[in-house]
Structures are given as structure tokens and as C-alpha cells.
Amino acid sequence: QIQLVQSGPELKKPGESVKISCKASGYTFTDYAMHWVKQAPGKGLKWMGWINTYTGKPTYADDFKGRFVFSLEASASTANLQISNLKNEDTATYFCARGDYAYWGQGTLVTVSS
């Protein structure tokens, strides 16, 4: 069956970096883009951008340009989200979602605290 499995929760200090993975299975990885969505605690969903899993080209929403990097390990059917120079406001659950939004990862909670 189709699954997106994300890496586990992270606790980081301000200024550190974090890398979240999203491993896809049950379909051809390069047939669909991978999107990333942020959900701050108790808040709504915010679209971060997407990566073309065939070409590797990322597209970032305006609020996520600069410290956020989407990447692939295509041979492993895995998409990654790296956030550098973490800030308190990056504390959130981050979801990956297949390009048709029919399948989502379970979410990865990133907590940024000194």
C-alpha cells in the first residue's frame, strides 16, 4: 500500500539545523511531486513548497525562501526538508504530502527551544 513515512521528532536549539526525511513506498516515486506543509502548534496548515521528484527542482513559498531546503534521495524514494538557523517560530509539525495530496506523511514535530 502507498505510504509516506517521516522521521521522528526533533528537539533543537535556536541556531541549529534539522533535517526531516519522508520515505515513500507503494508507488513510483518520480511520478508525483512532493509537497511540504507546516502546522504550528494549535494553528492551521501553511504550504511551504514542493519539489519535482523527477528533476529535483524545488519551488518555495515566499515565507520559506532562504533557510529551507528541499532535497531528494531518489534512489531511496526519499524527500528531505532541511531547516537551518532554527528559530523559536519554526516549532511546528512538518508534513510531507504527495503531489495529489491524497497521501500524507504522519508528520514530524520539530521543537526549537533553548
Partner 1 sequence: DIQMTQSPSFLSASVGDRVTINCKASQNINKYLDWYQQKLGEAPKLLIYNTNSLHTGIPSRFSGSGSGTDFTLTISSLQPEDVATYFCLQHNSGYTFGAGTKLELK
Decide whether 61 or 69 has the Cβ nearer to partner 1: 61
Distances (CA, A) of 91 to 2, 71, 75, 109: 28, 21, 30, 8
Shortest Cβ 31–partner 1 spacing (Å): 17
The sign of the torsion formed by the CA atoms of 71, 96, 31, 62 equals negative
Decide whether 44 or 114 has the Cβ nearer to partner 1: 44
What is the spatial distance between Cα 86 and Cα 65, in angstroms, rounded to a whole number?
A: 14
Chain centroid to CA 105:
9
Question: Rule CB under 8 A: is residue 40 a binding residue for partner 1?
Answer: no
Shortest Cβ 37–partner 1 spacing (Å): 8
Interaction site with partner 1 (CB under 8 A): 35, 37, 44-47, 61-62, 95, 97, 100-102, 104-107
